[in-house]
Amino acid sequence: MEELGNGQSFTANRPPEAASIPILAESLLSDIEFRIANNTLRGATDTYFSGKILAKVARIILIASELQQLAEGNLKELQDMYTDTNKDTDLKDSILAAQSNNLPSSGQIQNAIDKLKEAVQVWFEASEAPYVYDKSWGGLVNCGCIYVGNGELGHCNNTFPDCPALEDVNLDFGNGFYNDHHFHYGYHVYAAAVVAKFDPKWGKEHYEKILLYLRDYANPSEDDKSFTPFRQKDMWLGSSWASGFVSAENSPHGRDQESSSEAIAAYEAMALFGKVMAHVMEIEGGTDEEKQSAKLVRNTGELLTMTELKAASRYWHVYSSPTHENTYPAGYKELVVGMMYDTMASFQTWFSYLPLVSYGIQLMPFTPVAEMRDDPEWISQMYPVYVDDCNSAGDFCIDNGWSIIQAGICATDGKRDEALEQLLAIPKKVFNSDGGNGQSLSNTIWYIATRKDVTIEAN
């Protein structure tokens, strides 16, 4: 039996602290106007970074809506939403702060939802890089894009059946070869869940199309003859594998996965989509089959999230503590595993040898599930090492967004004021870099402002 707890949520267990709401409100006024690039709106880019952009916009919308709810001041509704508000005065202070600051208007939020809806929808309806169904392996793969032209106004210089991603394993991070599907599609599902939350009719209309993502990477049904069950998940270990096609020749150590945190986020997205759609099917008159399907998605997503969380703690997070049973021998001194294989644990990633990246890739994105993901004891040991590694990496740490991660885990370590100071020192352009584009300034402020107080007992 696996204890599923209270289920996944779009909000943290507590509201943003009142002291941080003015700067959060200010950042939202800018971020709510975030412009999704033209090529992303046409599906003329890769499935991974496009997904991160869509999830980024989704988080901005959610936070703006959350502050609106705080400003409305319905105490009973807010007490039901926040499960860790022992001090009613803290909640009331946050309500007053939200009421006292200029927030994005309902019209601005709706405009952001409409643009996100357009971007989510294009990927499965009219994308320049369309998805195709692979009959051989029973999966959803992307055709791929040979991009030509300058900047966001370029276009894909290929059309189906000319699918370069099915021939080049290096294109689109190997999507055509089933690499990283849960990472890629999880971001898209998260964005779709947010659109459906605010537009239930759209959610019902497009349910089956969004479900294709989940049937590919986490199909819960053994009766589904079109997709294999639980493609990415290793039910024995509890963790997932990011590898697609693997042979002894191209990977002598077997399957692997880098980002345990993005795997967790993929299943968090599944649970939230199922939760939203279970509600949608009730209020929009879904059939009994649709209602049962949505509940199955929700429950399976919760199960996969909780098992992935436990596996991350066991296999990727390494503790220097006599109170925590470590998986690895004492000779392994690092506090994280960058890549776990069938037969090897490695302190590196596919794309960088820097220690900083092995840590950072286990700490993204910043969503509510991260409170269960990042044990404060592990963070307290790892944080100073991360800071040293970030300093050693110099401009690379800042320019590629890894300093955003540092600010977030500084707050997880109980230092919210210091974390906010670090964050506000980061150049705004970093949030649009490849490393930072999954985060917005607003989401990171929200993350810092919703971390709980931390007390770590000395060993």
* Residue type (1 letter), 420: L
| Residue 257, beta-bridge partner list | 340
How far is the CA of 48 from the CAs of 102, 140, 152, in angstroms? 34, 14, 16
Inter-residue contact 272 to 278 (CB < 8 Å):
no
- The one-digit pLDDT tens for each residue of the chain (459 residues) are 666 777 999 999 999 999 999 999 999 999 999 999 999 999 999 999 999 999 999 999 999 999 999 999 999 999 999 988 766 778 999 999 999 999 999 999 999 999 999 999 999 998 999 999 999 999 999 999 999 998 999 999 999 999 999 999 999 999 999 999 999 999 999 999 999 999 999 999 999 999 999 999 999 988 999 999 999 999 999 999 999 988 767 788 899 999 999 999 999 999 999 999 999 999 999 999 999 999 999 999 999 999 999 999 999 999 877 777 788 888 888 999 999 999 999 998 888 889 999 999 999 999 999 999 999 999 999 999 999 999 999 999 999 999 999 999 999 999 999 999 999 999 999 998 766 768 999 999 999 999 998 876 554
- Other Cβ atoms less than 10 A from the Cβ of 421: the count is 12
**DSSP H or E stretch at residue 307:** helix 288-311
* Predicted local confidence at residue 412, as pLDDT: 97
Beta 131-134 vs 139-142: how paired, if at all? Answer: antiparallel
Q: Which of 276, 232, 254, 261 is nearest to 140 (CA)?
A: 232
pLDDT in tens, 25-40: 999 999 999 999 999 9
pTM: 0.96
- Other Cβ atoms less than 10 A from the Cβ of 315: the count is 18
> Tokens 């919760």, residue?
302
pLDDT in tens, 180-231: 999 999 999 999 999 999 999 999 999 999 999 999 999 998 899 999 999 9
Detail the DSSP E strand segments found in 303-359. Answer: 339-341, 345-346
**Residue 70 neighbours by CB under 8 Å, 6+ apart:** 15, 16, 21, 78, 94, 95, 97, 98, 99
CA–CA separation, 200 and 198 (whole Å)? 6
Return the SS3 of 10. coil
- Total residue length of the chain: 459
User: Where are the domains positioned within the chain?
Assistant: 18-449
Inter-residue contact 55 to 366 (CB < 8 Å):
no
| Residue 340, beta-bridge partner list | 257, 345
| Token pair listed for 11 | 């909000």
How far is the CA of 386 from the CAs of 173, 424, 426, 459, in angstroms? 26, 19, 16, 21
**Residue 253 neighbours by CB under 8 Å, 6+ apart:** 341, 342, 343, 344
* Predicted local confidence at residue 265, as pLDDT: 98
CA–chain centroid gap for 184, Å, is 10
CA–CA separation, 193 and 62 (whole Å)? 11
**DSSP H or E stretch at residue 290:** helix 288-311
Phi–psi pair at 438, nearest 5 degrees: -85, -5
